[in-house]
Structure 1
Amino acid sequence: MARKHLFLPTLIATLVSANSFAAVQSFDTRSFAMGGIGASTADYLTASFHNPALAARYGEDDDMAVLIPSIGAQIDDSEEIIDKTDSFSDIYDQFSSINNPTEQDAQLVVDALEELQSNRANVQANVSLAVAIPNQYVSVNMFVKAYADAFVFADIAEGDLDANKLIENSSLTSQALTMGVVIAEIGVSLAKSYEHSNGTFYYGITPKYQQVTTINYVTDIENYEFDDWDDDRYQSEESNINLDVGLAYQMNNGLAFGFVGKNLIENSYDTSLTHGIRGEYVINPTYIASASYNHRLFNVGVDVELNETKSYDVIEGTLNGIDADADNKQMAGIGVEFNAFDWAQLRAGYQTDLSDNLADQFTAGIGLSPFDVFHIDLSASYASDNELGAVIQTSFTF
């Protein structure tokens, strides 16, 4: 059980200590609490994470804003692989200490392995910072952020599920692995607006530098430690330039529409080769459409990703084939926010994965913004007792 508590703090600590920051996904508290929406509802400070065009949508009294920082994590361990692997290690250690093990002793090991077979867990974490400078010429939003996305998989050998063979060999070939990615970004969003009689049209662009570190940690299942994934020998690092573009239209009656294309330059990244296992991670363009109704006292909106985000496109060399599409995501969300005259906010939402790889989840959050200057926001998500997340964020607006 202790290893479960070590894993997320280690992951987040790695993000915080990264040399550069940023990422593909965003965990800002307002969006997270509202079902992940943002392409037509994000404010000018978080526009870079959702739709660069919205950096130009600001109020008359808005001069500058600073996000320092947003920190979040989310875990899906519905199959309880983390606890099961921990328990298996204890069972196997006890079996290995017996001088003349019986078939019954070996069967306890086999039963524990069968409990683990093909189990997996997903973990995501994010750290982000931003500075927004809105103005009538070109609104600017500078940001840095780091995003980690990983899955843990139990790769069980069929030969290890025979109690008699286990007594004869007293060794296992089953393994466990963590495959994932840490994406660091630094970029700047530039946006303009054009007003006409029925509303305002916004358009923006975000050039950004990405540093992509792939993770391929593989070891014997009885020796698996969740916090060993960050060893350099399991990592491979590359960098590139990428681009986001966005459009938004705010009507005078409160209706708003948004469209954004993220990571328009597709790139693939090979992992290191570990125990004969390799993978290829892909950052592919993702397109999002959004509609919302924005009022001073409440906002309601919906976002839909129009295509899948691929993640690992190739995984080769495992004992049991891993479906590389099992970590694809295509998110859709709906959310609402109630605003008490810019002093406090109450938010709720619902998010689903159209690829059917992640469980549907409910989201909620609160915000406090005295004098509309200092902001502290908290949000959380829940799908089950082992599928949950949380984000905390502080910011200043002037």
Structure 2
Amino acid sequence: MKLKNKILSVVALSTLSQVAYAVPFTFEARSLGMGGVATATADLASAAWANPAMLTNQRPDDDFSLLIGIGAFVRDNDDLLTDIDDFQAADDRLQAAKAAANPQEIIDASTDMLAIIQGIDGKDMAVDVSGLAAMGLAFDSFAMAISIRADAIGAGTVTDLSQNITEVDDVTKNILNIEGVLATEFGVSFAKAFRVANRKLSVGIKPKLVDLQAITFSESIKTIDGLDSLTDQSNKRDLGTFTTVDLGLAYDVTKSFRLGLNIRNLITDEFDLGGTVLNFDTEARLGLAYHNRLLTVAVDYDLRENKPLLANPVFDDLKTQNLAIGAEFNAFDFMQLRVGARKNVASGIPDGAKDTAITAGIGFWLGFNLDIAATFTENSVGGFLQTGFRF
């Protein structure tokens, strides 16, 4: 089995295993289907992650909601996985040529391996595994939610590259370095609506407890066979637990237009990871939405660049600053069709990371909610599945 297929298998297995830790991420299925917008469109079920102020945005007859979801995302902006597969295929040819004592094929295979290595410098890949659960409650004067999520974020890049044809077969060269972080978050959100200039202004706050664990390992791309080492306890490190808070605002500009602002991680922290520093930074997102009974259209924009939750500076080009647009068409409250697009406008990122991600999703009300969403670009793919109910 090719390494690319094995990594996708590991993602699927990791997705299931994360449920034991809790459940994660910035996206949930409705948001993902709409390009990632949620700051001014979230509801009682999803506001805990998108914008705590939007807890006051429940349906008139809904006082309770429960949401459980899980998703996975793979990004390979530079086709690193393809390069590793090609390198291993060329190495198979090299070993066969050595066994057959074929000097010309030995030279040809070694030359191909060196050419791949020369083009691999600076490339990286990333995998996110996400899961989440939330319970929302609406009262006469305020709304609240209890939420838990776990973000399993991993990235890999190749270092110690072969410098000449004699080194391509050396297992101490061409090392794939994998770094991962498991961030488990438990939060309690509160929101209250006020009247300002005869319009609804909602304010929300979310104190939360965050636990961080790190995973690191290295292996030559010549010998690596899947990513089983990710589950090896000896490669894990407990970075500790800390407390931070999110703040949200939502203002109804008119009956149909709403502004939203979500500021996450107002209290920042940093962690030492073997000589490199893992920063847990503040993030801010602004959203604008138009909504009526049948249609919702929204735009979200990150107000600053967000570094990946990884310590090694070689992964800095995985940073994001997303501009997202999305729409939802509501068919008689039974089915919702969603579509959207998202573009990373951060500076200094690979060309593949600049591709516009197209998203789509569908939701059903069958006595319970069922939401499915997917996203893709030329070099990335992801999906989210969630269920829940409300009354």
User: Could you give the per-residue CA deviations for residues 267-295 of structure 1, whole angstroms, max 9, x where no partner exists?
Assistant: 22233x5xxxx643211000111111111
User: Could you give the per-residue CA deviations for residues 210-259 of structure 1, whole angstroms, max 9, x where no partner exists?
Assistant: 11122222112222232322322322222111110101012442110011
Structure 1 equivalent of residue 331 of structure 2: 340
Residues 171 and 363 of structure 1: CA distance in aligned 2, closer, same or farther (over 3 Å) = closer
Larger mean Cα displacement after TM superposition, 258-267 or 117-126: 117-126
Structure 2 equivalent of residue 387 of structure 1: 380
Larger mean Cα displacement after TM superposition, 144-153 or 304-313: 304-313
Structure 2 equivalent of residue 282 of structure 1: 279
Q: Distance in 2 between matches of 1:13 and 1:280?
A: 29
Q: Which among 317, 339, 352 is matched to residue 343 of structure 2?
A: 352
Structure 2 equivalent of residue 331 of structure 1: 322
Displacement of 1:195 in angstroms is: 3.1
Structure 2 equivalent of residue 143 of structure 1: 147
Q: Distance in 2 between matches of 1:127 and 1:313?
A: 19
Matched, 1:207 2:207: yes
Q: Distance in 2 between matches of 1:14 and 1:111?
A: 38
Q: Distance in 1 between matches of 2:279 and 2:320?
A: 12
Larger mean Cα displacement after TM superposition, 1-10 or 203-212: 1-10
Larger mean Cα displacement after TM superposition, 74-83 or 374-383: 74-83
Q: Distance in 1 between matches of 2:210 and 2:171?
A: 43
Displacement of 1:172 in angstroms is: 4.5
Q: Which among 300, 304, 310 is matched to residue 303 of structure 1?
A: 300
Structure 1 equivalent of residue 83 of structure 2: 84
Structure 1 unaligned segments of length 5 or more: list them: 317-321
SS in 2 for 1:257: strand
Residues 270 and 21 of structure 1: CA distance in aligned 2, closer, same or farther (over 3 Å) = farther
Structure 2 equivalent of residue 369 of structure 1: 365
Displacement of 1:391 in angstroms is: 0.9
Displacement of 1:9 in angstroms is: 1.3
TM-score by length of 1: 0.87
Displacement of 1:314 in angstroms is: 5.0
Q: Which among 120, 123, 134 is matched to residue 130 of structure 1?
A: 134
SS in 1 for 2:231: coil
Q: Distance in 1 between matches of 2:311 and 2:47?
A: 32
TM-score by length of 2: 0.89
Aligned residues: 376
Q: Distance in 2 between matches of 1:21 and 1:57?
A: 23
Matched-pair contact (CA < 8 Å) for 2:181–2:309: no
SS in 1 for 2:11: helix
Structure 2 equivalent of residue 198 of structure 1: 198
User: Could you give the per-residue CA deviations for residues 162-186 of structure 1, whole angstroms, max 9, x where no partner exists?
Assistant: 22x349x855422012222111111
Matched-pair contact (CA < 8 Å) for 2:44–2:57: yes
Displacement of 1:85 in angstroms is: 2.1
Matched-pair contact (CA < 8 Å) for 2:171–2:222: no
Matched-pair contact (CA < 8 Å) for 1:4–1:82: no
Q: Distance in 2 between matches of 1:270 and 1:94?
A: 42
Q: Distance in 1 between matches of 2:78 and 2:317?
A: 15
Displacement of 1:311 in angstroms is: 2.2
Matched-pair contact (CA < 8 Å) for 1:113–1:156: no
Q: Distance in 1 between matches of 2:261 and 2:143?
A: 18
User: Could you give the per-residue CA deviations for residues 129-160 of structure 1, whole angstroms, max 9, x where no partner exists?
Assistant: 1100111233111111111222221225242x
Residues 170 and 127 of structure 1: CA distance in aligned 2, closer, same or farther (over 3 Å) = closer
Structure 2 equivalent of residue 13 of structure 1: 16
Structure 2 unaligned segments of length 5 or more: list them: none
Displacement of 1:21 in angstroms is: 3.9
RMSD (Å), alpha carbons = 2.3
Residues 270 and 196 of structure 1: CA distance in aligned 2, closer, same or farther (over 3 Å) = closer
SS in 2 for 1:58: coil
Structure 2 equivalent of residue 319 of structure 1: none
Residues 263 and 132 of structure 1: CA distance in aligned 2, closer, same or farther (over 3 Å) = same
Residues 235 and 36 of structure 1: CA distance in aligned 2, closer, same or farther (over 3 Å) = same
SS in 1 for 2:83: helix
Displacement of 1:104 in angstroms is: 4.1
Residues 53 and 327 of structure 1: CA distance in aligned 2, closer, same or farther (over 3 Å) = same
User: Could you give the per-residue CA deviations for residues 308-356 of structure 1, whole angstroms, max 9, x where no partner exists?
Assistant: 112257537xxxxx3x421211111011111112111111111011115
Larger mean Cα displacement after TM superposition, 77-86 or 144-153: 77-86
Structure 1 equivalent of residue 260 of structure 2: 258
Residues 11 and 109 of structure 1: CA distance in aligned 2, closer, same or farther (over 3 Å) = farther
User: Could you give the per-residue CA deviations for residues 29-48 of structure 1, whole angstroms, max 9, x where no partner exists?
Assistant: 11001110111111111001
SS in 2 for 1:84: helix
Residues 166 and 289 of structure 1: CA distance in aligned 2, closer, same or farther (over 3 Å) = closer
Matched-pair contact (CA < 8 Å) for 2:58–2:138: yes
Q: Distance in 2 between matches of 1:361 and 1:177?
A: 27
